[in-house]
Amino acid sequence: MRRLTVLLLALAMLAGLTACGMEPADPNTAQESIQVIAMDTVMTFSIYGEKSTHAVYAAEDEVRRLEGLLSRTDPESDVSRLNAAPAGEAVTVSEDTRSLLEMARFYAMMTEGAFDCTLAPVSSAWGFTEESFRVPSRTELDGLLQHVGWEKFQLPEGQNLTASHDEGVEIDLGGIAKGYVTDVIAGILEENHVPRATISLGGNVLVWGDRPDGTPWRVGIQDPARADAADGYAGFLSLTDAFAVTSGSYQRYFEEDGQRYHHIIDPATGCPADSGLTSVTVVEKRERDANSNILGSGTECDALSTALFVMGEEKALEFWRTERESRQMSFDLVLVTEDGRVVVTDGIADVFTPDETSGYAYETVS
């Protein structure tokens, strides 16, 4: 009888051992991480939970699919076909492309043109598209600006999946594509009941749930003044279920005759935005409720980070206050200025931690 008990115990241990070797169902430990090079950047998807493996590869598939629709270098993409079509000709595009074009137009109107997806010819003139940098003349820029403006492309009502544009207009959805990708991935995380994840697309981050130890994710904001340092931060945000997007002049730039030219073009001048800011971070909550119908927060953060960088500190904060009062959008900001200040809006002041080694003066505004 005792011998039988001992045998049963041994069997129980064997069962335990097998369980050790299997994929653990505990959301604290099951984790899948992949890196994907797409859309001109490195993306890291780190997903927890039972369906983590399925979710990371579903996310990668979506990234590849959207890249195929939105790429400006792939001649078969929706965007390339639209740009190549003669002026006024309606081009059939996918649902994703059409809704991105609608959002691009919406944010252009909201920001009075500070965000503009028709800047492609100007960016190309500076060499930011092909990495062949040059400083275009004023005359050249003025000529190109004739073809810039959100009213210069059309999204016909009643023909839901078409778009057309005026003569000489070129569309580039790169300014909101990564934000849109994070929105789509948030949908995948929701569908798969993912308990926690971090999704990083360089300047675009989505944190989902909390850390395995139950505390919020710690998100570092790159210090623009120490862009080359792997651990130089302007500050940290403690976030759960949120999008955070940074646009900074340090991300892409070139130097000529001692002058630095960065990639965030002001649609009003056709030149790199000279707004007194070095980076803008836009933070927005992503509520986990499929019925709340606030999809698109990732896209919104992406569009606004660019637009508010172009506007500069004063106008950006004015925009933030106006939107907060009208309750149209509910985002918060971390602005890093050229004169060594970090300005944090009060909605995230309690989750923001300064980096004591950065040398910045920190301010909270309301």
| Residue 342: count of CB within 10 angstroms of its CB | 23
> Contacting other proteins (CB under 8 A), which of 148, 221, 264, 311?
221
| 185 forms part of the interface with other proteins (CB under 8 A) | no
| 207 forms part of the interface with other proteins (CB under 8 A) | yes
| 36 forms part of the interface with other proteins (CB under 8 A) | yes
Tell me the number of residues near other proteins by CB under 8 A: 50
Tell me the per-residue interface mask from 241 to 280 with other proteins, x by CB under 8 A, - otherwise: ---xxx-x-xx---------------------------x-
CA angle 273, 278, 283 (to 5 degrees): 105
The residue range among 8-16, 109-117, 180-188, 343-351 that interacts with other proteins, by the rule CB under 8 A, is 8-16
The residue range among 1-9, 175-183, 269-277, 311-319 that interacts with other proteins, by the rule CB under 8 A, is 1-9
248 backbone dihedrals φ, ψ, rounded to 5°: -140, 150
Contacts 24+ apart (CB under 8 A), 353-356: 353/235, 353/236, 353/237, 353/238, 354/235, 355/223, 355/233, 355/234, 355/235, 355/236
The residue range among 16-24, 62-70, 102-110, 319-327 that interacts with other proteins, by the rule CB under 8 A, is 16-24
Report d(CA 363, CA 294) in Å as an integer.
30
Report d(CA 366, CA 352) in Å as an integer.
15
Report d(CA 321, CA 314) in Å as an integer.
11
Q: Specify the residue, 165 or 286, whose C-beta has the smaller distance to other proteins.
A: 286
> Contacting other proteins (CB under 8 A), which of 25, 42, 84, 294?
42
CA angle 350, 355, 356 (to 5 degrees): 115
Q: Are 165 and 82 in contact (CB under 8 A)?
A: yes
- Residues in touch with other proteins (CB under 8 A): 2-3, 6-7, 9-10, 13-14, 16-17, 20-21, 35-37, 40-42, 44, 131, 198, 200, 202-205, 207, 211, 217-222, 224, 227-231, 233, 236, 244-246, 248, 250-251, 279, 281
